[in-house]
Amino acid sequence: MKFTKIALTLFCSMALFCGCAKDSDVVLKINDKNITRAEFYGDFNKIKNIQLKNAPKELQKDDSYTVIALKERFLNDVIVRNLLEQEFEKRKIEASEKEIKDKKAQIIAQIGSEEQFKNILKQNQISEQRLNSDMASEVKIMKLIDSLGAKEASDSEVEKYYKQNKAQFTMPERIKVSHILFDTNPESLKRKITDADKEAKLSSANIDAKVKEEIARKEKLAKEVREKAIKNPKNFANLAQQYSEDPGSAKKGGDLGFVTRTQVVKEFGDAAFSQKVGTISPIVKTQFGEHIIYVTDKAAAGTQSLSSVKKDLKTYLSEQKKIQTLQNFINGLKNNAKIEYVDSSLNPDNIRKQLEEALPKQLEFQKKQGAPKSKLKILDKIKKEKETNK
Give the pLDDT of the chain (390 residues) as one tens digit per residue. 444 443 444 444 333 333 334 567 999 999 989 999 999 999 999 899 988 888 888 888 999 999 999 999 999 999 999 999 999 999 999 999 999 999 888 888 887 778 888 888 887 778 888 888 889 999 999 999 999 988 899 999 999 999 999 999 998 999 999 999 999 999 889 988 988 888 888 888 998 999 999 999 999 999 999 999 999 999 999 999 999 999 889 989 999 999 999 999 999 999 999 999 999 999 999 999 999 999 999 999 999 899 999 999 999 999 999 999 999 999 999 999 999 999 999 999 999 999 999 888 888 887 777 656 555 566 566 656 655 555
CATH dotted code for 14-149+315-346: 1.10.4030.10
The pLDDT score that the predictor gives to residue 371 is 58
Sign of CA dihedral 137, 143, 147, 152: positive
Task: Give me the residue spans of the domains in the chain.
Answer: 14-149+315-346, 173-300
CATH number of 173-300: 3.10.50.40
DSSP string, 98-139: HHHHHHHHHHHHHHS-HHHHHHHHHHTT--HHHHHHHHHHHH
* pLDDT given for residue 374 in this prediction: 59
Residue 25 CA: distances (Å) to CA of 17, 29, 33, 34: 10, 11, 13, 9
- Residue positions counted in the chain: 390
Q: Kindly tell me the number of DSSP H helices and DSSP E strands found in the chain.
A: 14, 9
Per-residue model confidence (pLDDT) at position 360: 87
What is the rounded distance in angstroms from the CA atom of residue 345 to the CA atom of residue 349?
9
What is the per-residue pLDDT for 124? 78
- Give the separation between CA 141 and CA 103, rounded to whole angstroms: 12
How does DSSP assign 154-195, residue by residue? PHHHHHHHHHHTGGGGEE--EEEEEEEEE---HHHHHHHHHH
- Buried-exposed string 67-84: b where 16+ CB fall within 10 A, e elsewhere: bbbbbbebbebbbbbbbb
- Closest-CA residue to 295 (of 179, 180, 172, 173): 179
Contact 319, 342 (CB under 8 A): no
Ramachandran sector of residue 254 (left: φ over 0; alpha: ψ -120 to 50; beta: rest): left
Task: Tell whether the torsion through CA atoms of 100, 102, 107 and 108 is positive or negative.
Answer: positive
| Cα atoms in the Cβ-side hemisphere of radius 13 Å centred on 166 | 5
Q: Are 254 and 237 in contact (CB under 8 A)?
A: yes
Alpha-carbon gap, residue 178 to 291, rounded angstroms: 10
Are the C-beta atoms of 1 and 168 separated by less than 8 Å? yes
Q: What is the distance of C-alpha 330 from the center of its chain?
A: 23
Distance CA 336, CA 106 (A): 35
What is the C-alpha separation between 240 and 247, in angstroms, rounded?
10
